[in-house]
């Protein structure tokens, strides 16, 4: 009989109660015999493992075998009340694999000194040892009447937190238990999930507790899912990029590459992966004709200061949630923006590629904060607060000229923006807008007949090219909550230079859970695939450029100068001090080039993520012709 039409139906005991358990077409259902209200449904895509056991807990007594491997837990204390004796949100026991598997901790001379990490290597003995059934009290002669099922479940829709829960099924007939185990195990193996993962761990990011978080949460969860981990602990900046591009690692041996760290660690990873793909294809990495899409998905385990990328991908920085999505193998495309140096391209040659970024590239205030904070690295994450207060009180503005490519469409004879950044549609699970962008697969090509160049000039506090909403715990709405992860567009946010009072209003809006900075009158947002940025130097309060500096000179339009004739056409040669220019903050790193062109590459990489569940019931009334946030809301 076909598996899709085959139905498994038996009675099992769960927590001293009899339940009818069904399994058909990849869906597991159990309900109490005396009450149909106690019904739970779990798809096979959410089941992590199915294991035979002699006990309801899935763990054996130490009296059975003196050489038992110690059980490892995801956490030492639980803040959640368990549903019953066999279902617990936080206790994640390490179970044996169906066959002898080995998880390696690779620490070579390229990553760290052996003498400094000998104790860390010893901590992986539990993972390097081969596990047989006898270690867990399950031998060929044992009476295995329990089927232990671990599955993932959304336990907090409001905070998008997922947990691994345990289900213990008891039946007096071993034949039935083993039959169910074999069937579930075969279906789990058929799922497209990563079995071998290359994991980079940054022990110095954030609160410098990445290794402790990996030991406490990641290692037992990966072991539970029978995932082999090749761990590389980095010891310096840009080491991940160097390892990825050196071709010393055969990426074809892995189903995914994951980093444990912050946003900077993630930026190193996808930059190295894209550049590695260009190297493998024999492309010029300085001036590539196009950016190829890597075939291997990547993921992030949040262990940084703000973890903006992880928050935007999963709507939470909960480490167990992010690990669960990696284990289950859910992934989708993520837009990556590329930064090119102005004036380096020609008709037969692409401009010079400088950097790739996933979150935001910011000029002005945030760039100044990043530059200044480098002088206070000894302060740790607090250096950003200290430098932020300094630059905030200084309230410096910058004169810039930005050319933005805006796509237009004609409605009732009127040309309007094709993509409205204020449409109120958020990027949630099964986002139709991102799915439509992925189906085009045209390398981000645009119709020149529908694209107009819009020039934005003036004095601004900061200019931000946001690839994602950049939301985090400190800024729940981010720059624009309607920014999508994979639609092929970035949001260009201009914050005009105004008074210190307006800057305070900006900070309050950024930290609010309900207000958006787009509601402020001095903030402008454009949705585009490409923009070109040119800076014109530092101005005084009246907008005139400082003529006392003699470091260098540029030609600029003197529309703000007191000597202008009022027609806005006069130009003059004026001195410019490069120290009065700001720098770009590109994914938390300083980019020294000021005048750049930025292009958004639609879903250039695949990232492990499940998607954010929709909690807004009002979107069910949306017009069906509109690209809704998620498929469940139609």
Instruction: Name the residues annotated as catalytic.
Output: 263
Q: How many angstroms separate the most distant Cα atoms in the chain?
A: 98
Instruction: Determine which helix (DSSP H) or strand (DSSP E) holds 481, and give its type and residue range.
Output: none
User: φ, ψ for residue 243 (rounded to 5)?
Assistant: -70, -40
The residue ranges of DSSP E strands in 251-342, in sequence order, are 256-261, 298-302, 331-341
SS (H, E, C) 186-200: HHHHCCCCCCEEEEE
Q: What is the token pair recorded at 429?
A: 């699970």
User: φ, ψ for residue 67 (rounded to 5)?
Assistant: -100, 20
Length reported for the chain: 634
Write the CB contacts of 59 (distance below 8 Å, at least 6 apart in sequence): 53, 71, 93, 136, 137
Q: How remote is the C-alpha of 176 from its chain's centroid?
A: 42
Burial 558-582 (b: 16+ CB within 10 A, else e): bebbeebeeeeeeeeebebbeebbb
Place of tokens 């958020």: 426
C-alpha distances in angstroms, 142 versus 53, 58, 244, 247? 9, 14, 47, 48
Residue 379: CB atoms within 10 A of its CB come to 13
Q: What is the token pair recorded at 591?
A: 């980019």
Instruction: Determine which helix (DSSP H) or strand (DSSP E) holds 179, and give its type and residue range.
Output: helix 174-189
Strand duo 196-201 + 256-261: pairing: parallel
SS3 content of the chain, % helix, strand, coil (to 5): 25, 30, 45
465 contacts 490 by C-beta, under 8 angstroms: yes
Q: Is 343 left (phi over 0), alpha (psi -120 to 50) or beta?
A: left
For residues 469 and 485, give the distance between their C-alpha atoms in angstroms, rounded to a whole number. 8
Residue 343: CB atoms within 10 A of its CB come to 10
For residues 455 and 468, give the distance between their C-alpha atoms in angstroms, rounded to a whole number. 23
C-alpha distances in angstroms, 370 versus 146, 307, 361, 365, 463? 56, 16, 12, 9, 14
Q: What is the token pair recorded at 192?
A: 């497209």
Q: What is the token pair recorded at 433?
A: 């807008």
For residues 107 and 275, give the distance between their C-alpha atoms in angstroms, rounded to a whole number. 23
């Amino acid at each position: 009989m076909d598996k899709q039409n085959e139905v498994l139906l038996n009675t099992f005991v769960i927590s001293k109660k009899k339940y009818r358990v069904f399994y058909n077409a990849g869906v597991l259902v159990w309900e109490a015999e005396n009450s149909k209200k106690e019904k739970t449904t779990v798809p096979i895509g959410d089941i992590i493992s199915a294991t035979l056991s002699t006990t309801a807990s899935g763990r054996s007594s130490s009296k059975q075998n003196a050489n038992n491997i110690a059980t490892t837990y995801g956490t030492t204390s639980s803040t959640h009340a368990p549903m019953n004796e066999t279902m617990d949100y936080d206790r994640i026991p390490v179970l044996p694999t169906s066959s002898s598997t080995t998880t390696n901790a690779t620490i070579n001379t390229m990553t760290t000194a052996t003498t400094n990490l000998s104790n860390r290597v010893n901590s992986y003995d539990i993972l390097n040892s081969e596990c047989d059934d006898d270690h867990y009290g399950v031998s060929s002669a044992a009476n295995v009447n329990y089927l232990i099922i671990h599955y993932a479940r959304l336990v907090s829709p409001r905070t998008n937190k997922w947990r691994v829960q345990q289900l213990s099924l008891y039946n007096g007939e071993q034949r039935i238990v083993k039959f169910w185990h074999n069937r579930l195990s075969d279906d789990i193996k058929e799922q497209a999930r990563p079995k071998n993962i290359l994991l980079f761990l940054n022990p110095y990011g954030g609160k410098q507790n990445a290794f402790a978080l990996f030991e406490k949460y990641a290692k037992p969860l990966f072991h539970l899912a029978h995932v082999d981990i090749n761990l590389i602990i980095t010891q310096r900046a840009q080491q991940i990029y160097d390892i990825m591009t050196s071709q010393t690692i055969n990426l074809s041996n892995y189903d995914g590459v994951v980093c444990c760290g912050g946003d900077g660690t993630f930026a190193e990873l996808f930059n190295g992966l894209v550049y590695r793909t260009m190297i493998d294809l024999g492309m010029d990495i300085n001036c590539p004709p196009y950016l190829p899409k890597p075939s291997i998905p990547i993921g992030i385990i949040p262990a940084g200061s703000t973890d903006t990328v992880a928050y935007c991908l999963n709507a939470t920085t909960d480490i167990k949630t992010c690990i669960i999505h990696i284990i289950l193998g859910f992934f989708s495309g993520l837009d990556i923006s590329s930064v090119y140096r102005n004036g380096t391209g020609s008709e037969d040659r692409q401009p010079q590629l400088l950097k790739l970024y996933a979150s935001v590239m910011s000029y002005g205030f945030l760039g100044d904060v990043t530059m200044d904070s480098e002088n206070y690295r000894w302060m740790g994450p607090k250096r950003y607060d200290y430098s932020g207060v300094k630059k905030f009180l200084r309230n410096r503005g910058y004169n810039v000229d930005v050319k933005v490519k805006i796509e237009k469409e004609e409605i009732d004879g009127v040309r309007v923006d094709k993509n409205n950044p204020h449409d109120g549609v958020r990027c949630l699970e099964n986002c139709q807008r991102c799915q439509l962008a992925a189906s085009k697969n045209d390398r981000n090509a645009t119709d020149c007949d529908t694209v107009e160049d819009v020039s934005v000039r003036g004095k601004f506090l900061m200019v931000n090219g946001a690839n994602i909403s950049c939301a985090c715990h400190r800024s729940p709405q981010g720059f624009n909550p309607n920014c999508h992860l994979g639609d092929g567009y970035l949001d260009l946010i201009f914050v005009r230079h105004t008074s210190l009072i307006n800057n305070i209003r900006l900070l309050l809006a950024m930290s609010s859970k309900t207000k958006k900075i787009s509601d402020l009158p001095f903030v402008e947002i454009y949705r585009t695939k490409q923009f070109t940025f040119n800076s014109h130097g530092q101005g005084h309060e009246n907008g005139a450029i400082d003529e006392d500096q003699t470091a260098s000179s540029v030609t600029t339009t003197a529309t703000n100068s007191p000597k202008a004739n009022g027609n806005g056409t006069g130009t003059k040669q004026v001195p410019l001090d490069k120290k009065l220019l700001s720098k770009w903050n590109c994914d938390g790193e300083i980019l020294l080039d000021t005048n750049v062109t930025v292009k958004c590459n639609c879903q250039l990489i695949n990232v492990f993520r499940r998607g954010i569940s929709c909690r807004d019931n009002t979107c069910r009334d949306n017009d069906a012709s509109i690209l809704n946030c998620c498929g469940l809301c139609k």
